[in-house]
Amino acid sequence: MTEIPPVLLDEQLCFSIYSASKKFNHFYQSALAPFGLTYPQYIALLALWEDAPLTVHQLGDRLELDSGTLTPLLKRLEKQGWVTRVRSRTDERQVLIHLTAMATTKRDEVYQRIGQCQSLLGMSDQEIQTLMTDLITVKSQLDHVSEQRAIEKKVNAQN
Amino acid sequence: MTEIPPVLLDEQLCFSIYSASKKFNHFYQSALAPFGLTYPQYIALLALWEDAPLTVHQLGDRLELDSGTLTPLLKRLEKQGWVTRVRSRTDERQVLIHLTAMATTKRDEVYQRIGQCQSLLGMSDQEIQTLMTDLITVKSQLDHVSEQRAIEKKVNAQN
DNA sequence: GACAATTTAATTGTATACAATACTATTGAA
DNA sequence: TTCAATAGTATTGTATACAATTAAATTGTC
């Protein structure tokens, strides 16, 4: 007869992160309005500006998104002239995502716009660094739990 | 002729939060599989368990979601027997979301399941508290920037 | 070299998100 | 009281997300 403690919304770390994530999304959507980019499209371009071309799979690893999300997103980026999607000649299963000349040209404009926006956050590099380190801890814990669950599931399936 | 510093994905706070949010989503989706609940459905129930009934608008304020998201979500919760949607008799514009007997019965089961899962995170209350406080700072900064943008937009519109 | 197993993208189906619009009920001001 | 303004919800359209499936290409093994 143990009392079960209530789960209060405002005490949930998940909810803090969930709502912060949505706010960041709006923040960037608004900041990137002059370029017509959504937040997921923007991070796809960030990854590509660091290291293009990438296959859909490689980009997915980087952004933790699967082809079900990336394929339509990349088709939209292609339509808007940021990337090209080219089947690899050496392995026809792969699609290579290349940056267009326009994407290369506009890169610094985007970098600059984002740099300006980030300074609006009014946080020191130190503060941001600490927060990010903590988040990495949380994420690795979540990964660990997911892995455990996957193993349990596998073991159960064997019976 | 100032050099524009690159924006590196792994240094972006937004991306840390974005991917942490997605991981939490999976974590809860998996933990709540026995109840057939998604993460957004779960937080809607959390809010209602704290204080039902709520109008769609009140629930939206609590979760920071609008009717475009909530209406279909609540219809699904209704279909699955967790809530009922009733037009207010005193103000026919409002729809009141009530919990069903089933939702009340299952509340403690869900609380217990979630409590167990959270302990898997292996973080102290202190650590979680600190992280949440920092996230609140970030969110209020983002709100502040959004407000500034809205004001600028308004002023521009007046010209 | 044939062919089963694997890899890689794309597709399909379901569920958020949210801006913009529509629609109905209520309120408020002349 | 009338009726314009407002409030509350639903709808529509676009864009993620992701599980599950499909389809095509490649690899490994004999």
pLDDT in tens, chain A (159 residues): 678 889 999 999 999 999 999 999 999 999 999 999 999 999 999 999 999 899 999 999 999 999 999 999 999 999 999 999 999 999 999 999 999 999 999 999 999 999 888 888 888 888 899 999 999 999 999 988 877 776 665 555 543
Q: Does A129 share its domain with A55?
A: no
User: In chain A, what residues touch B49 (CB-CB under 8 Å)?
Assistant: 6-7
Structural domain count of chain A? 2
Quick check: A15 contacting B, CB < 8 Å? yes
- Flag whether pLDDT at B159 surpasses 80: no
* B54 in the same domain as B26: yes
Q: Which residues of A touch B141 (CB under 8 A)?
A: 120-123
The tens digit of pLDDT for each residue in B99-151 reads 999 999 999 999 999 988 888 888 888 889 999 999 999 999 998 887 777 66
Nucleotide nearest to B43 (CA to C1'): C16
Q: How many C-alpha atoms does A107 have within 13 Å on its Cβ side?
A: 22
Q: Two tokens at B157?
A: 């519109």
CATH code of the domain in which A77 resides: 1.10.10.10
- Asked whether residue B29 falls in the same domain as residue B78, the answer is yes
In DSSP terms, A83 is beta-bridged to A99
Whether A48 and A102 map to the same domain: the answer is: yes
Alpha carbon distance B156, A143 (integer Å): 47
State whether A149 and B8 contact (CB < 8 Å).
Answer: no
Is B88 contained in some domain?
A: yes
Domain region containing B30:
13-122
Distance CA A147, CA B10 (A): 23
Read off the pLDDT of residues B53-104 as tens digits, 9 standing for 90 and up: 999 999 999 999 999 999 999 999 999 999 999 999 999 999 999 999 999 9
Q: Which of B46, B47, B131 sits opposite A134 (nearest CB)?
A: B131
Among A50, A93, A44, smallest CA distance to A64 is for A44
- The tokens describing A82, both together, are 């940021």
Nucleotide closest to residue B36 (CA–C1') = C15
